[in-house]
Chains A and B, each alone.
Chain A
Amino acid sequence: MYKIVRKKALNPTVTQMEIEAPLVAAKAKPGQFIILRVDEEGERIPLTVAGTSPQEGTVKIIFQIVGATTELLNHRNEGEFIQDFVGPLGVPTHTEGIRKVCIVGGGVGCAIAMPVAQEFHRLGAEVTSIIGFRSRDLLILEDEFRACSDRLVVMTDDGSYARHGNVTVPLKEMLEAGETFDAIITIGPLIMMKFVTLTAKPFGVPVTASMNPIMIDGTGMCGGCRLTLQQDGKRVTKFACVDGPDFNAYEIDFDEAMSRGRMYSAYERRAREEVCNLFKNA
């Protein structure tokens, strides 16, 4: 059992928790993820590590309440426990040789982008962060990004806060103005990462995307997290849990990944309604 040491709502649908898991806290690096189960009957879900405190032995996770399991998790409070918490899994974000980086985060993906931005900042790289949200009330981590970014652009899809538009707008402006980056790292909805990649392509800047597919074991056993890369004219199957979650975005078949991500969407809608009803009736 793993204790919830702190819990905080970042916005109405996004929650941050710090979980006591000393072995994971001692090892986890930006870009890696964990898998948790809320209770004995629960499903396994992957969540990217949003930060660690090795001294305290805690791991920070940030999740959006999108399905039955995240709904259930959100009903656990400080001082309570979750059943299972395993990690760190996946390969840490590659930072070597990158002196000037652009981090492009979208929605709850910003929770994953934030520790990556912090890591580059700590390593002395010049960090530009572009973070986008649907609207003002979904904004998270603005102060944290400001603290670790040399330049920060905040976007909202509906214009209710900061600049109106999506993240590709300022990215394109910067690249067209002759701005260069050693790497663009994008983390967020698949559709956003796809368009960030298309935006950057004409300028030849390397783009890394952090993938978050459906997973079960997270250790390279089930193959559920597979995705297809286009490498040297060949389609190659990779496993996000052991080969990723970061991949060269130019090689990723985003359309296929989006389709695979919807495999259980009908099921998930029903399951979440059931959990919500459960808490309503309680």
Chain B
Amino acid sequence: MAVNPKKHEMPAQAPEVRAHNFKEVALGYSRETAVEEAARCLNCKTRPCVAGCPVNIHIPEFIQKVKEFDFEGAYQIISQTSSLPAVCGRVCPQETQCESRCTLGRKFEPVGIGRLERFVADWHNAHAAGKAQAPESNGHRVAVVGSGPSGLTCAGDLAKKGYKVSVFEALHTAGGVLVYGIPEFRLPKTIVAREVETLKELGVDIEPNVVIGKTLTIDELFGMGYEAVFVGSGAGLPRFMNIPGESLKGVYSANEFLTRSNLMKAYRDDPKTPIMKGGNVAVVGGGNVAMDAARTALRLGAEHVYIVYRRSMEELPARREEVEHAREEGIDFRLLCNPVEILGYSNPEDPRDEKNGFVTGIRCVKMELGDADASGRRRPVVIPGSEFDLDVDTVVMAIGTSPNPLIKSTTKGLEVNERGGIIVDEDGLTSREGVYAGGDAVTGAATVISAMGAGKVAAKAIDEYLSGR
């Protein structure tokens, strides 16, 4: 039988429709499409896709089950190694991971592994009866700091082995970046809540409103009887460019802009937490977070949304799929541009003028690419005399974060690198006995799946550490 050279298209809301709502963009495969896509898998002996997955999902095996219409069987295989399949099926950069290794992909488009994973997870959530069963306790207690992707993965893996796990979350809702950062239209919050619910069924305690480093310290956790601690506290303070005008009203960090919209539901018609909506918006940066912020601004009612990025499309770090979605929706990419100042309204005649101090524009310079820098990317260089202004009402800075100081400053003997990231060995062990770490708190801003991979590695190491006791 001839193999279909192309992946089955992912059904999606039309761009002109979705640009005005917060519903999920990609709609998911139907049962029939999933089985047909699964049939494209060659079930090759070498299984290179598995090595491409940070949590080593048994990919050919689950796809085989899909071929056989055994979707619950497929789910059981995925859930052996992944605690958050419905999340990963949506936000993993499969094109650079499992799918980039696919044997079929050498000649044709690779198998749509991510789309199949999503289908299987959604099918399970819609159809599977009964709850997950908490395994018999092994008597050991582990504390997890932060309920983002690394923390939830670590907690899930340990709970499945019988550990009593408590997850401490600083915010009021579990999920970390999955709830405050990634927008509803890419990852519906009901899906995150469902995955958290599954962990609770496995016996994991979620303790919201506890800031480790403030409410309790890591040393106190040991004093409370926890035998090991996993720190997955995520990235921290937002970076700004240190250009004039960044404190004007209407300038947000991407973290703040997305948190207001996602976690605090400012996108709703009658929000309790305000956000600046409408007008023109410039988002500075080229990562996935910048794409999320730009597309959120559009859905909040912006007339025109710019992405301002200092390199070219080739260097733009966001996932291709996100960039394509953003372009289809009408986001205006101003590449090889760099902001030098944010402009604000000022009425010296009337200090009480309510418009005083609000953003009116962003001044940029054009750039060209010079020689490669230390990172191997070509360094952007300013073109003299190329200044120009964009009229905007809101500016969102999506240029990264630096690590949060709260845990480091309250945990003696916890070593961090020069960027403030927690130093760990290959098992995720920090400089403190029994304290493990992973995710953005270690690496700085990275992906959901790499954080999950780190949570998984640490869970295995914690199990080895504690089962030896």
A: residues with CB less than 8 A from B are: 23-24, 27, 37, 41-44, 68-69, 83-89, 216-217, 219-224, 226-228, 237, 239, 242, 253, 256, 259-260, 262-268, 271
Contact = CB atoms under 8 A, between A and B. Distances in A.
B79 interface: no
Given A237-B246, A242-B405, A242-B406, A222 B211 contact: no
B48 interface: no
A219 B170 contact: yes
B330 interface: no
Contacts of A43: 264, 272-273
Given A68-B272, A242-B405, A259-B357, A221 B236 contact: yes
Given A89-B214, A219-B211, A259-B357, A264 B274 contact: yes
B171 interface: yes
Contact of B249 (A219, A239, A263): A263
B13 interface: no
A223 B406 contact: no
B272 A219 contact: no
Interface in B246-289: 246-247, 249-250, 252-253, 255-256, 259-260, 263-265, 272-274
8 contacts: A27-B215, A68-B272, A217-B170, A217-B171, A220-B404, A223-B253, A260-B247, A263-B250
A265 B352 CA distance: 13
Interface of B: 170-172, 180, 208-211, 214-216, 234-238, 240, 242, 246-247, 249-250, 252-253, 255-256, 259-260, 263-265, 272-274, 354, 356-357, 404-406
Nearest to B344: A259
Most A CB contacts (10 A, CB to CB) among B171, B214, B250, B354 go to B214
Given A37-B172, A216-B264, A259 B255 contact: no
A94 B249 CA distance: 31
Given A216-B259, A219-B404, A242-B406, A88 B214 contact: yes
Contact of A220 (B236, B252, B259): B236
Contacts of A69: 272
Q: Which 4 pairs show the lowest CB-CB distances between chains A and B?
A: A259-B357, A223-B253, A222-B256, A86-B209
B215 A87 contact: yes
Given A43-B273, A219-B170, A220-B236, A88 B259 contact: no
Contacts of B259: 216-217, 221-222
Given A216-B264, A217-B170, A224 B256 contact: yes
A221 B255 contact: yes
A265 B180 CA distance: 24
Given A216-B260, A220-B405, A226-B247, A239 B237 contact: yes
A217 to B, nearest CB: 6
Given A221-B237, A222-B238, A266 B209 contact: no
Nearest to B208: A84
Contacts of A237: 240, 242, 246-247
Contacts of A44: 172, 264, 273
A223 B172 contact: no
Given A24-B215, A83-B172, A222-B256, A259 B264 contact: no
Most A CB contacts (10 A, CB to CB) among B252, B273, B356 go to B273
Nearest to A215: B256
Contacts of A266: 354
A223 B237 contact: yes
B206 to A, nearest CB: 13
Contacts of A42: 272
B256 A216 contact: yes
